[in-house]
Structure 1
Amino acid sequence: MRLHPETVIQSYRASGAWGSTTIDDLFCANAAARPGAMAIVDAPNRATLDGREPRRLTYADYAAEVDLIARRLLTLGLGKDSIVLIQMPNVVELVALMQACGRIGAILSPTPMQYGAHELRQILNTLEHVACAFTVETFQGKAQGERLSSILGAIAPELPVVSLGHPAPDSGRIDIEGVAPVEPQALAAYRAAHPVDADEIFTICWTSGTTAEPKGVPRSHNNWIWHGRAVVETGNCGPGETLMTPFPAVNMGGFGSALLPWWLTGGKLVLHHPFDLELYASQIESEQVGVVLGAPAILTSLLKAEDILARYDISCLHDAPSGSAPLTPWLITEFERRFGIQIINQFGSNEGTTLVASPADVPDPTERASYFSRIGVPGFRWNLTFAQFVETRLVDPATDETISEPGVPGELLIRSPSIFPGYYRRPDLTADALDERGFFRTGDLFEIACNAAGDAVFYRFMGRAKELIIRGGFNIAPPEIEAVVQGHPAVAEVAVVGYPDDRLGERVCVCAVLQPGASLSLDQVIDLFRQEDVAKFKWPERLELFDSLPRNPIGKVLKRELQRQIDEPARHLGAA
């Protein structure tokens, strides 16, 4: 399935940004070159995750596993352009399944473990044709296979559910390990008859954005590989690099910033899930991790955990890309001073936005914490070579006129080999997201900023024009939350905003006006989300009651004013 316009494909191929190599080609080259090297490692606490013992596979063993799964997928009737829904935690088999899908040309669509009926119904409606769903039998002691079967049975009863972990024979689920694989020569013949092209779609990931439903973000092999090369260069990842990620492999954070650099460098991938600070530090030491991903809150917690740092030596790290929330100069300075670790400031999105402040181009910690290199603008030269393929503009959101003066907020528009071709089966949303020249309208506000010499070489993030809430790296669209709360009979008006949290970045606050004489508690609000089977990370954690919501002259709720009011120390009227 090709979704990029042919003109885009030919342009990026001619420039050298895109090529003919697929993700599976990358892996096969690594497996041939380093068969005895360690390829992938489960977290040592895997048994608490899905009830199975942790695994450590060499490239030869992992290659055999991928091949076996690919042969089983053919037995299940999957093949070129089959869409596979995946809801699995960070375990070896998840990565091998993704690799096997790529080998036969199937399109994988991973979803967070937290997604329930509310989100999955919308996703299946968007995808329309899904071949099967993959999951694990147990997750953190709960019956995940049964849960997903129940959800999908009510939404799409004909959809097969394939499970890892030996489901009961009468469960209706297919045991992936019990599927008889086709013969190796049958797989070879299928691949010869159905070759995979690097311009074809490899994944459809999901982002909420500002709409009330998840949006499918298709990305080709070439989209991913170009992005991965940018991450490799930014993170100083060398051949055979050891990388670790605490982020689920469902979107740009876990998939694009960990799996792709691993495929590109032929190193070792260390899995971590769910997040645990001491285990995080322990794995860094025991696996001799060189590059680790971490949100600012994670890295700050680690730097302040002197008892953990006294027990584990993390000096093997050399780089730590971070993003999703503002960094501090202290964080960057202390990691370098104490451990020689470089913190890289990143800004990205599932759609392919890529901004970065690296030590090579922004050595000053204060500048690196606050700014991003103004790549993609004529007249500036950067050490990072991927910048030559990026084009960026700031525009006035109201007039679309280009902004070139420092200190003037504008919406960031970006065009690069990483940008997606448009939202899957949603031309209406794509028309708003991509302009006629192929620039992605990020909906994020930046301003041009100057360095100490007065040169306008930086972008500074000013806020999200989309009013998106980002909790622990997951996007939450306020309209979706508002729609659920509005269903309570006690609610007359509702607006949802984010409020700051040191650990998660933001949490969800419901601001409500009640019907005359009505009452409402946070527990009652949460019951609504439980009844609707909404993913738990979206549940409100604070309720504020108002006599009226602040509005502008045309009736639009002023959410910035709401955020200011709920931040006032004296405001505890309805907080919970």
Structure 2
Amino acid sequence: MIQSNTSPTVEGLFRRILARQPDALALIDPINKPRVTGQAARRLTFAQADRAISALSAHFIDSGLPANSVIAIHLPNTVEFMLTVLAAHRAGLIVALLPQLWRQAELTVALNRTGARAVVTMSRIDGVNHADLAMNAAAEAFSIRHVCGFGDDLPEGMASLDHVLAHPSDTTRAFIQDGRKAAVISFDVTADGFRAVPRTHLNLIAGGLAVFLESNVAQGPRMMSAFAPSSFAGLTSSLLVWLLAGGTLSLHQPFDGDIFEQQVNNDNCDTLVVPAQLALRLAENDLPGRLPRVRHVIGLWRAPEQIASSPTWTAANTTLTDIYLFGEAGLFGARRGADGAPAPILPGPHG
């Protein structure tokens, strides 16, 4: 890889934290991951995550995926999702984010529309055989050349990424790290069907900064994300805020209320990234008493027109930042004041 100072990249942000604090805790799996995927939950330091990223990146290169080709990922909200995105970027690839609830018909359309060369999936998610879904969709996408997955009992023809992590290669590829290049493709739902929306590294970083700066999250937070990461908003509010803040990112596969509360307390989380309706429900159910370490809540609104009429935020010593989502077009945030009412949004520059 050729380092360049022209503009930052997502994977470059990870490397900066790695250089400063390699032994700090980086990623924490959902504690109910054994039920969700059949795999043991993992806790990774930045150094451990880096080794996993390098192993996955080497596999993508060894598999013959050219730089700037598209790799689609169909994964739950676990450490594998974050590792795969960063590994793809380290290999110079573009990541197509496939929502977990999509099935064969939607996957096939998305793979053909993006010209994806590879698919990464999980063997099973919540009892659904996602490995078979990926194989069947790949069979109908002429561009697909490589299908791989995490987990056990993968079908014939699907490469095991658990084996890759256990037996890593040291293959690398020279390319210029340029934040102006495409980094991800997400999908907006329109009247005419799915619309693929590409984003550069700079787009992702800008989205992460919009959330990070408005929410006033401190450096080195203990974050918990319970929002699906397979969208522009989901990725920027979790992966990018984590990389900008340089703390620890715990993940929750939506949604189990008891497990969520247990993990927030077990992991000493001080910052939550959740759907806005869940944030308001937490406030109504004694958030300070049940989750005493939480100081920042980032609530994402898929229907931002509902914010103005939403209930007042009542959780003492905890801030709520409303994130206005406009499909895959963009987002912005507005932190509520001491009165707990939604911040007024006026024409002109904000922030």
User: Normalization by structure 2: what TM-score?
Assistant: 0.89
What's the offset of the Cα at 1:55? Answer: 0.2
What's the offset of the Cα at 1:79? Answer: 3.7
> What are the Cα deviations for residues 117-136 of structure 1, in whole angstroms up to 9, with x where unaligned?
33223213321x21111101
Residues 102 and 158 of structure 1, relative CA distance in 2, 3 Å threshold: closer
Q: From 109, 126, 136, give the equivalent of 1:122.
A: 109
Q: Which residue of 2 aligns with 1:26?
A: 13
Checking the alignment, whether the CA contact within 8 Å between 2:302 and 2:326 is kept in structure 1 is: no
Q: Which residue of 1 aligns with 2:302?
A: 324
SS in 2 for 1:214: strand
Alignment of 1:386-405 (within 5 A): none
Residues 321 and 373 of structure 1, relative CA distance in 2, 3 Å threshold: farther
Residues 355 and 373 of structure 1, relative CA distance in 2, 3 Å threshold: farther
Q: Which residue of 1 aligns with 2:162?
A: 177
Checking the alignment, whether the CA contact within 8 Å between 1:240 and 1:265 is kept in structure 2 is: yes
Q: In the alignment, residue 162 of structure 1 is paired with which amino acid?
A: C
Checking the alignment, whether the CA contact within 8 Å between 2:307 and 2:342 is kept in structure 1 is: no
> What are the Cα deviations for residues 460-507 of structure 1, in whole angstroms up to 9, with x where unaligned?
xxxxxxxxxxxxxxxxxxxxxxxxxxxxxxxxxxxxxxxxxxxxxxxx
Q: Which residue of 2 aligns with 1:45?
A: 32
What's the offset of the Cα at 1:324? Answer: 2.2
Residues 375 and 40 of structure 1, relative CA distance in 2, 3 Å threshold: farther
What's the offset of the Cα at 1:142? Answer: 2.8
Q: In the alignment, residue 318 of structure 2 is paired with which amino acid?
A: I
Q: From 154, 162, 166, give the equivalent of 2:148.
A: 162
1:102 to 2:75 alignment: no
1:134 to 2:120 alignment: yes
Checking the alignment, whether the CA contact within 8 Å between 2:225 and 2:238 is kept in structure 1 is: yes
C-alpha separation in 1, matches of 2:308 and 2:325: 18
Checking the alignment, whether the CA contact within 8 Å between 1:345 and 1:372 is kept in structure 2 is: no
Q: In the alignment, residue 129 of structure 2 is paired with which amino acid?
A: A
C-alpha separation in 1, matches of 2:169 and 2:136: 33
Q: In the alignment, residue 341 of structure 2 is paired with which amino acid?
A: T
Residues 172 and 278 of structure 1, relative CA distance in 2, 3 Å threshold: same
What's the offset of the Cα at 1:224? Answer: 0.9
What's the offset of the Cα at 1:182? Answer: 7.5
Number of residue pairs aligned between Structure 1 and Structure 2? 343
C-alpha separation in 2, matches of 1:158 and 1:83: 10
Larger Rg: 1
SS in 1 for 2:186: strand
What's the offset of the Cα at 1:71? Answer: 1.0
Q: Which residue of 2 aligns with 1:195?
A: 176
C-alpha separation in 1, matches of 2:164 and 2:298: 40
Q: Which residue of 2 aligns with 1:148?
A: 134
Q: Which residue of 2 aligns with 1:342?
A: 319
C-alpha separation in 2, matches of 1:54 and 1:134: 19
What's the offset of the Cα at 1:74? Answer: 1.0
What's the offset of the Cα at 1:215? Answer: 0.7
Structure 1, gaps ≥5 residues long:
1-17, 377-381, 385-576
Q: In the alignment, residue 317 of structure 2 is paired with which amino acid?
A: G
Q: Which residue of 2 aligns with 1:206?
A: 187
What's the offset of the Cα at 1:351? Answer: 3.9
Alignment of 1:218-297 (within 5 A): 218-297=198-277
Q: In the alignment, residue 95 of structure 1 is paired with which amino acid?
A: M
Q: In the alignment, residue 340 of structure 2 is paired with which amino acid?
A: P
Checking the alignment, whether the CA contact within 8 Å between 2:122 and 2:130 is kept in structure 1 is: yes
What's the offset of the Cα at 1:305? Answer: 3.8
What's the offset of the Cα at 1:36? Answer: 1.3
SS in 1 for 2:125: coil
Q: Which residue of 2 aligns with 1:353?
A: 330
Alignment of 1:75-86 (within 5 A): 75-86=62-73
C-alpha separation in 2, matches of 1:350 and 1:221: 19
Alignment of 1:518-557 (within 5 A): none
Checking the alignment, whether the CA contact within 8 Å between 2:30 and 2:251 is kept in structure 1 is: yes
Residues 324 and 363 of structure 1, relative CA distance in 2, 3 Å threshold: farther
Q: Which residue of 1 aligns with 2:340?
A: 365
What's the offset of the Cα at 1:373? Answer: 4.5
Identity of aligned residues (%): 22
Alignment of 1:60-79 (within 5 A): 60-79=47-66
> What are the Cα deviations for residues 335-393 of structure 1, in whole angstroms up to 9, with x where unaligned?
1xxx311111221235443333224xx5543342xx425343xxxxx6x3xxxxxxxxx
Checking the alignment, whether the CA contact within 8 Å between 2:186 and 2:197 is kept in structure 1 is: yes
User: Normalization by structure 1: what TM-score?
Assistant: 0.56
